[in-house]
Amino acid sequence: MSLVLKNKKVRDYDDRSLELAIASVKDGMSRSAAAEIYDIPRKTLYRYLINPHRSKMGRGTKYSPEEMKGLAQVLIQFAKTGLPLNKDNLRDHLQHFALEKGMKPSFTNWWHRKFLKEHPEISRRLTSNVDRTKAREWDKEKAEAYIALLSEHHAAGYLTEPEGIFNLDESGLILGYERDRVHTEVGVKQARAHTEGTTRDQVTVLFCGDATGRMLRPLVLYDGKVQLESMHRGTDDKLYVAVNDSGTMDADVLTDYFRKEVIPNMTAQKNIVFMDGHHSHVLNVQLFTLCEKSEKDIQLVCLPSGQTHHLQPLDCCVFSGVKSDWTHYKNLRRVDPDFEISRRTFSGHMALLCTPLAHKFSFDFESVKAGFRKTGIFPFDPEAIRQTVDKTPTRNDQQQNPLLDKHHQSLQTIAVILRKGLNFDSEKVESCLDSIVNVGTGHRTVAESTFWKKAISRDTAPFLQNDVDVPNSAAMFEGNIDTVRKTELSSWQFAERAKSIDAGNALAMESSLKNKDVLAS
């Protein structure tokens, strides 16, 4: 006969009732009376009278709450310095930290989910990769110059009426099906999805909208000699169709679009159009002549080069949603035999999605209004433009003064966490700060960094072992480079470190680096 186990009784009292029961017993009430009054099991009340501290069932955790809290703070600080750590970085650093404590390294998806749940201040986000060169180019001075330009237009009345503020830009929409997550049998290495033609063929589409959220007819540009009937099929005059030899935007197509679509839809007394630095925009003499001779007051403004990802309304709030909706629209009809996306049918599909509420994936052009607000154009907000300047890579660009030094506020915060939160000694803290400074300095490319890691690990490991003694725990708080001993080592650092070692090792190291054309003059 099998043993029937009773279900565990669910706790139906709160902490306040438990505290009152304990206080009542200490004031002279019997345990039985207190347990009955406050509806608390007698054994539970007896256990808390002996030991008021609540104990958790099961074995203890490998890492203390203070250590995990310190790790969470370090992750936040690394993200603020522009070197956010991903899941693989966290796994490697946690394993190094476990070895430092003499424990077996373990990092599971369950532990990672539990860590994120216990620290709600940490979240996983997709990185917004910013080119270091572009970030340096867009500094405070250039931002102020752009603000001064907009201030002049605002004072002249060009940024006061939302129906007169326009932004136009083109983008390519892929015709073929893109990669998607599908269901298939377990063990299949490749989930083949047959498509018609190439998956990289695309059509250029130019969008133009104003600050009220109104979107003009999109321009669909095909390559060819003449316009075919299939290019207009199913459009219901909702698209502006054009053709040229290359299928990419040129001065003639853009000027005709301005003449037939943009200018006739300008209703404000003063109008301003923001464009990027494409050659068909800035080198278009006939477009400037057309706007000058037009009866309407039109100003053309070219956005700062390389900064349209945070200064152009269409790039900020429209194109990402348009491309996402376009991809979902295609994938939804993948198995429909009557569904075809080609140059013959593209216009019909585009006209459908450009119609509000016509389809579940219709484009949300109302977001262009939020794009003008986010970029500080309308309402005119100079502070929003100043916030687009990334101060991390532009703080200091000289080799002798790294972008991040040990006296920087972010690094001082990390030092306090390491020293007080994780009980690191001064030597370990200094090693961790040195690794962060080394990662943040210089203009090295990915290829150069890769070469440095290979060269140093192969040829200079004995030199570095004699030169610097880096604790294993320092590897827990490094950025996107594997370890401190494999970080980038510039020539001026080498010269300083070479003074503290014997001349034989220094000459051998210098010869090895010179043979590989690494040591800079």
The model's pLDDT over 418-474, given as tens digits with 9 standing for 90+, comes to: 887 777 888 888 877 777 766 555 434 334 444 444 443 444 344 333 333 333 333
Q: Is 326 exposed, middle or buried (0-12, 13-18, 19+ CB in 10 A)?
A: buried
Tell me whether the omega of the peptide bond preceding residue 379 falls within 30 degrees of 0, making it cis: yes
Q: Where are the domains of the chain?
A: 15-50, 139-178+198-386
- Map residue 298 onto helix, strand or coil: strand
Q: What kind and span of H or E run contains 251?
A: helix 251-257
- Give pLDDT, residue 334: 83
Beta bridge partners of 441: none
Place of tokens 């216990």: 118
Q: Work out the end-to-end distance of the chain between its first and last CA atoms, rounded to an integer number of angstroms.
A: 87
User: 15-50 adopts what CATH topology?
Assistant: Arc Repressor Mutant, subunit A (1.10.10)
Q: Predicted confidence band at 191 (pLDDT cuts at 50, 70, 90)? A: confident
Give the other-Cβ count within 10 Å of 214's Cβ.
17
For residue 10, pLDDT over 80 is answered with: no
pLDDT in tens, 95-119: 888 888 888 888 899 999 999 999 9
Q: Which of 77-81, 367-371, 403-407, 489-493 has the highest mean pLDDT?
A: 367-371
What is the DSSP code (8-state) at residue 477?
G
Note the pLDDT tens digit of each residue in 68-101.
898 899 899 888 877 888 999 898 888 888 888 8
pLDDT at res. 65: 87
Provide the percentage of residues in the chain whose pLDDT is more than 90. 41
Mean pLDDT across 8-31: 83
Residue 368 gets the label, from left (phi > 0), alpha (psi -120 to 50) or beta, of alpha
| pLDDT reading at 505 higher than 50 | no
Single pTM value for the model: 0.62
Q: Which residues contact 202 (CB under 8 A, 6 or more apart)?
A: 172, 173, 174, 175
Report the pLDDT value the prediction gives residue 183, as an integer from 0 to 100: 86
Pairing of the two strands 270-275 and 165-174: parallel
pLDDT band at 349 (very low <50, low <70, confident <90, very high): very high
The DSSP secondary structure of 409-470, one letter per residue, reads HHHHHHHHIIIIIS---HHHHHHHHHHHHHHHSS---HHHHHHHHHHHHHHSHHHHHHH---
CATH 3.30.420.10 fits 139-178+198-386, yes or no: yes
- What's the confidence (pLDDT) of residue 446? 38
313 half-sphere exposure, CB direction, 13 A CA radius: 30
pLDDT tens digits, 44-66: 888 888 887 766 666 777 888 88
Lowest model confidence (mean pLDDT) among 275-279, 320-324, 357-361, 470-474: 470-474
